[in-house]
Structure 1
Amino acid sequence: MWRPTAASCWSVEHREAGDAMCRERPAPPVHLRANRDFTHRAVRHLAREMGIRRFPDIGTGIPASPNLHEIAQEATPGARAVHADNDPLVLALSRGLLSGTPVGRTAYVAADMRDPAAVFGAPGFRETLDLPEPVALTVIAFVHFTLDEHDAVGIVRRLLEPLPSGSCPAMSVGTADFTPDEVGRVAREYAARGMPMRLRTHAEAAEFFEDPDLVEPGVGQAHKWRPNRTDGMESGGESIRDEDIARYGAVARKP
């Protein structure tokens, strides 16, 4: 999983940028929680309502319970998950933290998302996931660190290409549509520390889902994707201001 130069999630640069982000934009804790809650809702929907039991998680980042595999296996105990990242710190912190249910399986793969063959061919991937069965490909909170020259849409499509019909991409995509000045200042703080961002409009976020069929309600702000009362937010997200959420979320199904 490619990451921005000099950027592990817990690097000094990232922590400094995060501190600056909180100064520039007081909403980040709400925004980050909304992204995490979107992920949990999407995974539960994929497992319970769409019958998905295989979860390749691309760009997993630093593990924090409940992890994606815990949510999937809570919904379907036999679910299997592979967490893929290329950050050595993530690998080190993941050891001992990725245990799953006795009937499910969980693995960690060190691989770069720009090379789908390396992801799918990595030791542990095919041992854990059976690709002839539809999978849920999750790419959460990462593509805003993928610049135009890296072709984020092309990368995601190449990841989807070998997956069987019925597979479901679930993504969250960073945006500055709602508070462009504040989010722009945050992006400049990251860029100043060697972590440039590519924030996308609603139309640009929708490009990731041009081929798969979108699951209702389509591409929208993360807190509005099938909200419920289990997320720790009042009235399923109704108390959250749109301008506090700088991320789109969506789930689709490959025909």
Structure 2
Amino acid sequence: MDKVVGSAAEAVADVGAGASLAVGGFGLSGVPNVLIRALFERGIGGLKVVSNNCGAMGSGLAVLLAAGRIARVTGSYIGANKEFARQYLAGELEVEMIPQGTLAERLRAGGAGIPAFFTPAGVGTQVADGGLPWRYDGRGGVSVASPPKEVRVFDGVEYVMERGIRTDFALVRAARGDRHGNLVFAKSSRNFNPLAAMAGRVTIAEVEELVEPGAIDPDQVHLPGVFVRRVVALTPEQAADKGIENRTVSA
């Protein structure tokens, strides 16, 4: 039951080239930076990433992206990541952009064993009708476009079918975790982390504070250890290393 491994490098040692990854985080919040860095140091590429965004300010998934290690991204937000936009428009990267709430539910559904579900989000748009550019050809044209999705009517309302997402691995970051893999996420880092963790067949969690089993009140557990395969305890320095995307001060 002790799921703690000795290092981040050991934790990601079996992540191979071309693997699919669900990665937690939103902007700079709750991003498993230590695991991502360990993956970068392995030198593997062709990764297929499912995450709300692809890193920012040279951190998180932006490290893998800048090195050309990511082949495909399923996400909701490009934001200010200029390298993400450049690779996408240049045809170097395949990108499936989907509504943020749909992404969250697709991850949750995959982790819950639900193969597909219907949602009104995207009906009447290219999300449902197809034709969204997944990959450009580098000359302004589209080489790969999204296919149309099934649309059905329930009680007079149209809904589009979305597939649940399962990935080979998941990388997440938690504020606290015990040796059995039970996790607690702090504040806004409880965003895509629990959902990403559920979607991974092998989920690896880096935790800022490692505690013994029983130290976390069961009512306070955000993600039960059944979803987690490996736990990496961060050093105090690693736990304290948190970026600020937009610093705001009052007059």
Normalised by the size of structure 2, how large is the TM-score? 0.37
The structure where helix makes up a greater share of residues is 1
Higher Cα radius of gyration: 2
Normalised by the size of structure 1, how large is the TM-score? 0.37
The structure where strand makes up a greater share of residues is 2
